[in-house]
Structure 1
Amino acid sequence: MGAEDKLHEECGVFGFFDPEGSDVATSIYYGLCALQHRGQESCGIAVCDTAGAKGNMNVHRGMGLVNEVFGPETISHLHGNLGVGHVRYSTTGETTLANAQPLVLNYIKGTLALAHNGNLVNTESLRWELARDGAIFHTTTDSEVIAYCIAKERVHTATVEEAILRTAGRIRGAYGLVIASPQKLIGVRDPLGLRPLCLGKMGSSYIIASESCALASCGAQFVRDIQPGEIVTITRDGISSNLQLAGTQRAHCIFEYIYF
């Protein structure tokens, strides 16, 4: 069995929103350390200040383990009260820095940072369609396809949540997403619930993570699992939920039980 044929662990995602703070990068760092078993190839953190100018997303990514990529000096330069993090073990796309996440995309309606755990089965058809319409891809991941789909839909929608809802109706596969826009932290779980995603709380802060162990690492309490097909949005005004994608069918990835 060659390296490309071997079974891989999945990635880990972590999002943190603190309406009263300015140093979520430290909490995201600890969350990613707790999720390190989900991916060891690369990692990254993207943060922004919801009180600042739109599009002020600051990101740092690197190859290797979390404690190799992020030291005190690096974290000290990541200022913001909203952010997402990612640890990667590639299942699609090469093991390169270009494919490290979170993916930050600037587009006509603003900026978003996306961290993705999962795999799509219709990546190539979507990539071809987006490229035909002018998208220029900088990675070989399906995560960039998702980000471009959201950006494309956002041009025709009133909110980023509506764009995500439309995108989720087009993509096929297993996914857990955490997305940061300049004012919102959003978590999305695939309709079958193949990839895990949970919600935590610490004071006035909310956390979205692949596993509850990441919540404990930063002192947060587990609130609940995000439901299959659910879109959770967190802002300064609180938390809201959209279950339009949810159905009655459920499925589980056996490797979540084997590995994790």
Structure 2
Amino acid sequence: MKLFRALIADDEAALRGFLKRRLEILWPEMSILCEASNGLDALELAHSQHPDVAFLDIKMPGLSGIEVAQKLPERCLPVFITAFDKFAIEAFEAGGVDYLLKPVSDSRLEKMVARLKTRLPNPLPAIQQLDEILAKLSLTVQSGGREYLQWIKVGQKDKIRLVSVQEIDYFKATDKYTTVRSGAEAFLIKKSIKELIDELSPDQFWQIHRATLVNVSRIEMVKRTLTGGYNVHLSGLNETLSVSRAFSHLFRQM
């Protein structure tokens, strides 16, 4: 018998499916009642279906996850799905609000499930207290949080696959597509390097050429060439990437 019911709201269908599958294994007493791809539908479903828990993506079309949470039925606990940086995460933890950090891991899911199991049978905090927490989170997100891309969607025949950006070695643009290299695998996507620069964390991915972004954590060695330029050698790959003159300053003090 299912003891609790949940709503999952995220604009990425693949992530909703992943979360549903993992929750069915980690929390068999939880029934996934309904799903939504935007904030407006999420709010409508929350009031018509009365879930015990609402998993809400912070950044959704229509209404943000925080805006939805501020209007949830009184006994519905919000759990935020977010890619925000450490600054915003500290605010979630300080407010006692549960969250899942993208890319969602089993260890974080297990921790979240354990916390919710202790909270769900008990009355919620006073609605005023919950409103105060959500108001503070909203201000934190607006002033200090920056959401960066955590997953890349790639097509494989008739399927869509999610690749964590942490697993990506580099992006390299060609005429019409951008190659995504992840270990021994390579995929083609339609996102341009310019779009990726805006969407990826600059601390994690450096532009080393007008057509190339490299994952800094994958850099094993940087060698100076005979002409005074630089070549980047990546861990686990028998491949080097050239650094153009415009970006050579990144490595001059190394």
TM-score (norm 1): 0.28
Which structure is richer in relative contact order (CA contacts within 8 A, separation 6 or more)?
1
Which structure would you say has the larger Rg?
2
More helix by share: 2
TM-score (norm 2): 0.29
